[in-house]
Amino acid sequence: MFKKLAIIFVAVFGVLLAVPTMSPKLAPYFPSWIQPIPLGLDLKGGAQLLLEVDTDTMFREKSAQLYDEVRSSLIDRDKGVIRFSNLRNSDGVVSFVVRDENQVSDAKGRLKSALGDTVDISSDGKTIKLSYSDKAKNEMVQDALSRSIEIVRRRIDALGTKEPSIQSQGGKYILVQLPGVDNPERIKELIGQTAKMTFHLVNENVTQEQMLSGHAPKGTEFLPFMDAPEQKIPVYSRIEVSGEALKDSQADFDQHNMPVVTTTFDATGARKFAKLTTEHVNERFAIVLDGKVLSAPTIREPIPGGRGQISGGFTLQGAKDLAVLLRSGALPAPLQVIEERTVGAGLGADTIAAGKIASLAGLIFIMIFMIVCYRGFGVIASFVLVVNLAMIIGVSAFLGATLTLPGIAGIVLTLGMAVDANILPFERIRDEIRAGATPLRAVEAGFHRSMKAVLDGNLTNLICSLVLFQFGAGPIRGFAVTLSVGVLTTLFTCVSLSKVIIDWYMNGKNKKIGYVKD
């Protein structure tokens, strides 16, 4: 008795989960964890972006870092300076010439110890070459992809965009789906910015002639102002404080009620920022974002608290966007938008209407077939089928799945396959009656002996749907989710719930089963 009550309770609970989706007006009366199933891009309308991680730029930056690491290792005074010449970085290969042939082995050993297995080291006489190994490059790409996905997610979430779908696709691509967003330009701008912020001292010794000629002294770069690209400012290439040390950033207003961005550094960044502002009072430093100077203020006094303020003629929205970029972190590599697609809400509404018609038509035809073939048991099967449909929608909403057009196709397919889970026991019951069994014994034997075939058929479908979910992307995953949920609810409703209702109908008596002909 307890088992039957538990089955009925689960069925009722599953149907209740679907009520907010089937009747959105009732959603406010349900708790927050029982809400309508969110609609995907193809049903709700919105924007879709396919982004490519710019691995070429990333590898150039990594090679530049390798160049610096090699130079630092060779001139390490604690371990002894190794004299070298012609240190260069060309096409991802760092090479140099050891002046003393007796130090070649020491140089290779020191670099191997410092850089580990991430680089391949080769030598030809006194010339040593280093480059990242293929394994290290693959790991860099995977790391950049996973970090980029997380950063893109944080940026989009900070903008308040509802129900974004962000996932990897292929080796270096990110698929971003934004239901309900009809103008993706602002999001594209935020996503596309690397948001790599650094602090540099300004080189005040550069002459006007050097600025006009465009030839920067060694260790100095001419960077454009963000708001005035034609105006350049000479900054030292050395990074005094990196944006990676930022702990938080918020949009605020200064004493003149102008929008600014306040920054807070972590402990390490605060110490470096305090040292910078203490040792260079009355000097200018540049705040650089993605190779462009945001502002170049003069240090009036030391700033020991690890808090700074960025001003630059921002609008309030511009200050908020910059705060989001800095707070979410810098992308490990630039992202390029290689495909953009916008789906109108009207098209999505038409798709929903067509999906409803397809689902209802499929359900009605299946119910007619079951009632004609199996009479009273067909009515029970039809009722169970409606419960199954409600449970698919309710469980999907409860799990946070997004309903897409392929998802609707998965629901319709599940309803069709659910017929098998009813037909097999019913046909087995018919065979038992013909063999001379009483109706009660025939029902018990029919469900028991058909169970293996029902489980085999549905488990193979479940395995296929799990494979689709694991290796598929986008719409294929939506189809796999609803198909997986449908298989599980079909096993529950068409086996357990159907058996409970038939037992209640039989009520312990050998009632005549109408669809069985002697």
121: three-class secondary structure by DSSP: strand
Task: Judge contact between 346 and 51, C-beta under 8 A.
Answer: no
Residue in the structure block whose two tokens are 């080189």: 203
Q: How many CA atoms lie within 13 A of 197 on its CB side?
A: 26
* Residue among 225, 269, 221, 275 nearest 243 (CA): 269
Alpha-carbon gap, residue 426 to 335, rounded angstroms: 58
466 within 8 A of 483, measured Cβ to Cβ:
no
Would you mind telling me the total number of residues written for the chain in this entry?
518
pLDDT in the model for residue 96: 92
CA–CA gap between residue 161 and residue 178 (Å, rounded): 7
Contacts (Cβ under 8 Å, ≥6 apart) of 70: 87, 94, 96, 111, 130
Quote the pLDDT of residue 392. 92
- Three-state DSSP class for 39? strand
Q: Which stretches of the chain score pLDDT less than 50?
A: 518
Quickly tell me which residue has 């009732």 as its tokens: 26
Q: How far apart are CA 393 and CA 411, in angstroms?
A: 9
In sequence order, what are the residues at sequence separation of 6 or more whose Cβ sits closer than 8 angstroms to the Cβ of residue 516? Answer: 429, 430, 433, 434
Burial track 66-88 (b if 16+ CB lie within 10 A, e otherwise): bbebbeebbeeeeeeebebeeee
Q: Note the pLDDT of residue 182.
A: 66
Domains delineated in the chain: 2-40+345-506 (1.20.1640.10), 46-194+331-343 (3.30.70.3400), 196-329 (3.30.1360.200)
Helix axes 498-506, 2-22, angle to 10 degrees: 120
- Give the C-alpha separation, 286 to 200, whole Å: 5
Q: What is the pTM for the complete model shown?
A: 0.58
Structure tokens at 235: 């900054």
